[in-house]
Structure 1
Amino acid sequence: MGTFVASTVHLEHFTTALNCLTPFGLKDDVLIYIDRDGLSFVRENNHVIKIQLLLSKELFTSYQYPDEEEFGDERVDADGDLQSCMKLCVKINHLLDSVNIMSKNVDDIVECTLTYDGHGSPFILIFEDSFIEERVEYSTLLFNDFDSNVNGLQLAKDEIVFECIIKGDTLYNALKELKEIGCKQCYLYAKTSETGHESVFAIIAKSDLGFSKIILPNNRSIIEKLEIYKGDSTTLLYDTPVVGFFDFNSIDKIRLSVKIASKVLFRMDAQQVLSVNILSQTEDVLVSKPRNDPATNNTTVKQPQLPRDYPGIVIEICMFAKEALDSLAQQDIELLMETTNTKKNREINYISSRTTMEDKPFAPNHNAETHSESDTDEELHITNSVPLFF
């Protein structure tokens, strides 16, 4: 088997990407696929949520993939075809610590070279600047516990029931707010109208404070696309709400990924599998600037810009719903949302730089509790730039 070798000087960007994996288990193993397109990092938690992060080969100044037909490993690519690849497992925190430490060098540009010789060989990182070279070797493990879709943790693309594209920083602020109020369970609510003026995408949160609604502004600069389907991914439905019920611990795992997103694509299928696709423009994630020496406060080294043809960090997260809602629970959630609509859509038509959060003394039939009542609005810091992905 040949040797894989790739080099990059964009260590800060590399660190930013690896940090998105940490909510899925900082000290756990991450499965790395290496193929002709780049490096994919895969991690699964308890067979209910999985993240796959791609760093494309354009991030690397050199990328040498072995010219061999068979490597003993295969994976299904985006087109559904089998593709030969190299596969290994390392600890997330080991990899992140090494890259993070070297990325803090303010005096020089550090080049990182990754090498791997195949089964049984270590995964090697070589860091080199103008004065010194450091070599780190990681023992590699290989197991097939979470690198397959036998447990059904995969979106059925021909059974989509709703699809929504949301601006990343707006969604991040909403998730951060839910975290701060101690959200434990949440509902994703989507409903469209034929005219589009009364379309709604909301997150209903259950916490010790009661039930809260965060309704994202119905504005194309915030919600670029919102469509409800009959379950076949093509036939549009109007005035028919779709509700997904999720454990907030699972939803919160996407927050660090959403933080770097230009746009976020939500899709849910008829089996209540939710797919979250995250694309990030390079200027939104990290644009390297001249660093300042903390001692002298003078600019020392100008770090290289990310390549123009680099598509950015690409992430897909799939998760199962907590449970399927019965008809009574579905009706209760719809009733809660109707209390918003009867207020002449005050929350939905809020200015584009804000979302709304509203606590209601409401308890769905499947979980009767006593809740408090309060109304609050929180300012969100939204940039004026309109992302171009999707």
Structure 2
Amino acid sequence: MRINSELANKFSASTVHLEHITTALSCLTPFGSKDDVLIFIDADGLSFVRENNHVIRIQLLLSRELFMSYSYRNETEDHMKLCVKINHILDSVSVMNRNSDDIVECTLSYDGHGSPFVLIFEDSFISERVEYSTYLIKDFDTNGLELDRERICFEAIIKGEALHSALKDLKEIGCKECYVYAKTEANDENVFALISKSQLGFSKIKLPSNRSILEKLQVFDGDSTTVMDGSAVIGFFDFTSFDKIRKSTKIASKVLFRMDVHGVLSVNILSQTDDVIITDTTRPSNNRLSSVRQLQLPKDYPGIVIEVCMLEKESIDEVAQTEIELLMETNEFGNRGNFKKSITRKRYGTDGGNEASNDNLLQLNGKEIKLPSEENNNNNKKYEDEENRYKNPTNDIPLFF
């Protein structure tokens, strides 16, 4: 038996991949397991959006290819939005997935403002209907949390498994603040590292530079086009916020990092269908259960797509930049290589025509602090301001996904 009454709604979709949906929605829980989630529904799929204190935002897409049937009928709006508690939906889907050894079909439906968000679960024997009250909230203020694609400082593509392992290690050593370090050399000696700052001091995790782990790394002169070899870009983040992406990286095949001159870090996470393998060892094994677990995802389904944008905790000055670079030049035996001071990442002034550039964290209006030379270090502790000169952006970079 299948319920067809939901087809009259503005939106309805059916799927049997409950475990995959549970895996996807679990990536939202580090951003608040019992908080509201804003859901956008359109002809392409469902997007789930959460924001924490206007410092970090996650957007997760479940595309329409995941569903056996997908219908969006709304002649007046190109999308609908509603707000529900994420733990309500996640609990319902995960419970039905765990408690049934049969194939369960889930139908989602929504009929616009004022109507409930409905989930219908059906197997060979029973049908259960769950309704969630919905309400509207104002859209999240994205000003300051949008990546300025014309002023990218660095771009890196990393294997998800390697990044998850690094984040897990940072968590275990009690990391409080985290530096993201990116540097390229003309001889392809690329360096991408996560540096922990905690009560124990500094610790660094340097990812292997081979292409199977670090597929791509480019450092730009703040214009998304001019490649800068030999110069390091360093971002400084509160680890409590940065660690929220760890659960998403666990299921990731590739992760794209991009950071702009305003201190906005964009993390794009793609989980291909053959990389999301979930096993439940707490349940008894039998042939019927095995067939349920081996349900193949649709071949045209692109996988779980997640984008996280976060703000730097603060902009580091030249003193902190030099300290981090000296740490990166020191090997495990305490020996220091040939240190070459890199160019400090510049902060661009606000461009009135670009809303994404309004986030000048230190409000220095393009000024930066100049570090005194070594020969005058003991005699002169006075810092001088130096005017910055910037190049105008020229071209957009290609999209990752």
1:92 matched to which residue of 2?
86
Matched, 1:120 2:117: no
2:138 matched to which residue of 1?
144
Partner SS state of residue 300, structure 1? helix
2:223 matched to which residue of 1?
232
Q: Deviations over 1:317-354 (max 9, x none)?
A: 00000000111111111111121396679xxxxxxxxx
2:255 matched to which residue of 1?
264
2:160 matched to which residue of 1?
168
- Bigger CA radius of gyration: 2
1:32 matched to which residue of 2?
39
Q: Does the CA contact (< 8 Å) of 1:50 and 1:319 recur in 2? A: yes
1:195-344 alignment, distance < 5 Å = 195-196=187-188, 198-286=189-277, 294=284, 297-301=285-289, 302-303=291-292, 304-340=295-331
**Structure-2-length-normalised TM-score:** 0.79
2:95 matched to which residue of 1?
101
Structure 1 residue identity aligned to 2:92: S
Note the residue ranges of structure 1 that are not aligned, 5 or more in a row. Answer: 72-83, 346-364, 366-388
**What is the root-mean-square deviation of aligned Cα atoms in Å?**
2.1
Structure 2 residue identity aligned to 1:300: R
Instruction: Quote how far apart the aligned CAs of 1:298 are.
Output: 2.3
Instruction: Give the Cα separation in 2 of the matches to 1:211 and 1:288.
Output: 37
Instruction: Give the Cα separation in 2 of the matches to 1:110 and 1:176.
Output: 34
Runs of 4+ in 1 over 6 A off after TM superposition: none
Partner SS state of residue 336, structure 1? helix
Instruction: Give the Cα separation in 2 of the matches to 1:218 and 1:236.
Output: 18
Instruction: Give the Cα separation in 2 of the matches to 1:251 and 1:309.
Output: 32
Q: Does the CA contact (< 8 Å) of 2:181 and 2:192 recur in 1? A: yes
Percent of counterpart pairs with the same letter? Answer: 67
Instruction: Quote how far apart the aligned CAs of 1:208 are.
Output: 2.0
Instruction: Give the Cα separation in 2 of the matches to 1:185 and 1:286.
Output: 32
Instruction: Quote how far apart the aligned CAs of 1:299 are.
Output: 1.2
Instruction: Give the Cα separation in 1 of the matches to 2:74 and 2:134.
Output: 22
Q: How many residues align?
A: 329
Q: Does the CA contact (< 8 Å) of 1:293 and 1:299 recur in 2? A: no
Matched, 1:45 2:52: yes
Instruction: Quote how far apart the aligned CAs of 1:288 are.
Output: 8.4
Q: Does the CA contact (< 8 Å) of 1:4 and 1:115 recur in 2? A: yes
1:357 matched to which residue of 2?
none
Matched, 1:3 2:5: no
Q: Do the aligned partners of residues 59 and 336 (structure 1) sit closer, same or farther apart at CA in structure 2, a change above 3 Å counting?
A: same
Instruction: Give the Cα separation in 2 of the matches to 1:127 and 1:142.
Output: 26
Note the residue ranges of structure 2 that are not aligned, 5 or more in a row. Answer: 1-7, 339-370, 372-399
Q: Deviations over 1:177-221 (max 9, x none)?
A: 11011100010001000121x221111101222210000011100
Structure 1 residue identity aligned to 2:194: I
Q: Do the aligned partners of residues 2 and 126 (structure 1) sit closer, same or farther apart at CA in structure 2, a change above 3 Å counting?
A: closer
Partner SS state of residue 306, structure 1? coil
